Amino acid sequence: MHPLVTLAKDTIELYVNEGRVLPLRDQDLTPEMNAKAGVFVSLKVRGMLRGCIGTFEPCEPNVAQEIIRNAISAATCDPRFPAVRPHELAGLEYSVDVLSPPEPVTDLKDLDPKRYGVIVAAGRRRGLLLPDLEGVDTAQQQISISMQKAGIPPGTEITLSRFEVKRYH
């Protein structure tokens, strides 16, 4: 298991079992953990989504802190699911996506749902969809799902950004 995924797993197990946040020591951080980036933590059970929370852009001093923050949120605060309970921990599958900085897109041909995630924005509303998701095969599907997630009505003028991810399992 990659160290970023181990960090997410250890964080969730400690938080769900004991209600404590995993302490970090600088000497435990790999170079990847010291970088600054947006991070998504996804949880699945038998291949089905169980929680996914993340940050578009960095909110914490480093990737390690982003993982800790988002791992706890994915396990306890995803509004689509109840909080993870201790008996579920053994069955969880983890992935961590580290996002590249978003870049503006003005043409749909610059999107590729297998390579790029997408961020749609209208006013203060923003919706994000990670790349390479099962069943999402077109840029239009990505945009439509992202708009729904953000509560942006169809036909609203939007701005688009794309990003790449490094996905760790």
* pLDDT level of residue 119 (50, 70, 90 thresholds): very high
Name the nearest CA neighbour of 43 among 17, 7, 79, 12.
Answer: 12
In a shared domain, residues 126 and 139: yes
- Domain with 70 in it: what CATH number? 3.30.700.20
In a shared domain, residues 32 and 64: yes
In a shared domain, residues 14 and 81: yes
Give the pLDDT confidence of 68-100 residue by residue, as tens digits: 999 999 999 999 999 999 999 999 999 999 999
* pLDDT level of residue 28 (50, 70, 90 thresholds): confident
Q: What is the DSSP letter of 82?
A: P
Give the pLDDT confidence of 31-67 residue by residue, as tens digits: 999 999 999 999 999 999 999 999 999 999 999 999 9
Q: What total number of domains does the chain contain?
A: 2
The confidence score (pLDDT) of residue 1 equals 93
* pLDDT level of residue 116 (50, 70, 90 thresholds): very high
At a CB cut-off of 8 Å and minimum separation 6, what does 54 contact?
A: 38, 39, 40, 41, 70, 74, 97, 99, 128
In a shared domain, residues 56 and 7: yes
In a shared domain, residues 73 and 133: no
In a shared domain, residues 37 and 83: yes
In a shared domain, residues 92 and 136: no
Task: Tell me what percent of the residues of the chain surpass a pLDDT of 70.
Answer: 100
Q: Residue 27 pLDDT more than 80?
A: no
Owning domain of residue 111: 103-164
User: How much is the CA Rg of the chain, to the nearest whole Å?
Assistant: 16
Look at residue 169 and tell me if it is in a domain.
no
Look at residue 27 and tell me if it is in a domain.
yes
Tokens of 100: 């590249």
